[in-house]
Homo-oligomer: A and B are copies of this chain.
Amino acid sequence: MKQYKGYLIDLDGTMYKGSEPIDAASAFVQALKESQIPHLFVTNNSSRKPEQIADKLQTFHIPAEKEQIFTTSMATASYISDQTSQARVFAIGEEGLHSALEQEGHLLTEEYCDYVVIGIDRDITYEKLATACLQVRNGAAFLSTNSDVAIPTERGMLPGNGSLTSVITISTGVQPIFIGKPEPIIMEQAMEQIGLTKDEVLMVGDNYHTDIMAGIKAGFDTLHVQTGVTQKEHLSHFDEQPTYSIKTLEEWTSFLYNMKGE
């Protein structure tokens, strides 16, 4: 196996499962830390701020600083900055999205918008959707933090941001640019953040359709872990395979320590 200089790591299904720990995750991240291998946690969760996500990882004894968290909200804000500094943005979303946009110096507004951005918003209203549609019809660029259509919860599968996004898409006929996994945009933003090149970085995740496809589409090597959504037997259905697929991160942790010893 190749020795990678950096890791991009998914969260839910890879580091934990909702509110439950995943056994091998803590030791794996500990090994990366001890080996001084740069790593970023890359998530399609747009609702929370990096410090909140780092706190959650720490409750699972996973070492994590807020600087190591890269959310799709941050990727969206950064994508806008690459095109327009101090853009006028109408944002439907939660704390994590508003905060990321403001930290990049964009102005949150409902009028004369350069961009309309939508992320999951559990306080969605008709008025917010109406404003988004009017601004998109008026020429604002239309971005969506991620295309996940459903969110697994204790109650069952609830509507994800991909389904909320469709209100604006269907009503205006304008397709959004999706930023999050499996799109390459979030991966390219993350790579810039970690300061390495594509062939130096491994993308780690449990979900073939988001994590592994994001890696494949962006041209990274990928490590599939069988602790979440996509099981080993599902992989055979897909044309493009991950570079590696392992049962749990324990295998990879041993490999990291062996490499270090060499």
Contact = CB atoms under 8 A, between A and B. Distances in A.
Interface in A111-139: 121-126, 129-130, 133-134, 137-138
Contacts of A158: 130, 133-134, 171
A170 B157 CA distance: 12
Contacts of A155: 130, 134
A167 B171 contact: no
A166 interface: yes
Most B CB contacts (10 A, CB to CB) among A162, A163, A168 go to: A163
Contacts of A159: 126, 129-130, 133, 167-168, 171
Interface residues on A, range: 20 to 34
Interface string A145-175: 0000110000111111011101111111100
Contacts of A169: 166
Contacts of A133: 150, 156-159, 163
Contacts of A124: 124-126, 129
A196 to B, nearest CB: 36
Given A121-B126, A123-B126, A150-B133, A163 B157 contact: no
A158 B168 CA distance: 10
